[in-house]
Amino acid sequence: MISARSLRQTGSVVGISVGEDATMHPAPDPWRVTDNGPAAGSDLTPASVDDRAFRNVMARLGSGVCVLTTTDPVGRDCGLTVTAVSSLSLAPPLLIVAVRHGSFVHDALYVAEGFALTILAAEQLDLARYAARHRYPTDTDDFSRWPSVRAAASGSLVFPRGVAAVDCVPYEFVDAGDHVIAVGRAVLTSFGCTGDVPLLHVDRGYYRPGERLD
C-alpha cells in the first residue's frame, strides 16, 4: 500500500479536494519549499532551496509597484522601486516595506524623518525603471523630470501622478536576512493623486491590468 508519506515524497500529492480522506492527502508541509520534485530530508528538517528556484517561485507573485522615497543625511532626495510592500495594521495604521541591506536608500531610512510610498500608475513605468537602476554610493537621484510634492511629515517626495501615496514616520526596523523590514506609521494619505490604472509587476515584467474578473 502506498502511504501518505511516500506519496508526498514522490511529489504525487498536489492538492486536497474537499471530502477526500485527509490521511491520504496530508496538508503540504510548510517547510518543504521546492519547485521541482520532492525535497530531501525528513519531515522535521527544513528543506533548503537554491536562489534560482526561490526567485522563480516568488517571481510568479504579482504585485503593485511603488517608489519608496526618503531623504539622506544631507537632505538629498533618494528613492527606490519596491514591490515588497504590505499593509500591516489598522490600529495604529502601519505598513511594511522590505529594503535590501546595501541598497541605495537603506542607510538614509534609519536617519530620515520617515519615508513615503507612491503606488505607481502604469504611465509611470519610466519612474519605476529610474528608481530601480543600479547606483553607486556616490550617485544621486534627480526626480525633477516627474511632477512631485513634498510630504509634510517625512519630507520625502511624492509623485501625485501615481494612483495613491502615503507618508510615514518610522515605527520600527526589523532585520530579516539580507533585508530590513521598515515598519512605517502612516500619517498622511491625501496627495491628490491622479493616476488611474496601477502598474503591476509579475514574471519579471511590468504590466497594465486589463481585465477585471469579479
From the list 116, 120, 97, the residue with the least C-alpha distance to 201 is: 120
DSSP secondary structure, 185-202, as one string:
EEEE--S-----SBPEEE
CB of 107 to ligand FMN, least distance (A): 13
Comparing CB distances to ligand FMN, the nearer of 134 and 145 is: 134
HSE toward the beta carbon, residue 11, CA cutoff 13 A: 8
| DSSP-derived 3-state class of residue 111 | helix
Are 80 and 118 within 8 A, CB to CB?
Answer: no
C-alpha cell at 85: 510592500
Comparing CB distances to ligand FMN, the nearer of 92 and 102 is: 102
Residues that bind ligand FMN (CB under 6 A): 65, 80-84, 98-100, 103, 132, 134-135, 201
Q: Give the CB-nearest residue to ligand FMN.
A: 84
Comparing CB distances to ligand FMN, the nearer of 32 and 201 is: 201
CB of 177 to ligand FMN, least distance (A): 11
CB of 183 to ligand FMN, least distance (A): 14
CB of 39 to ligand FMN, least distance (A): 27
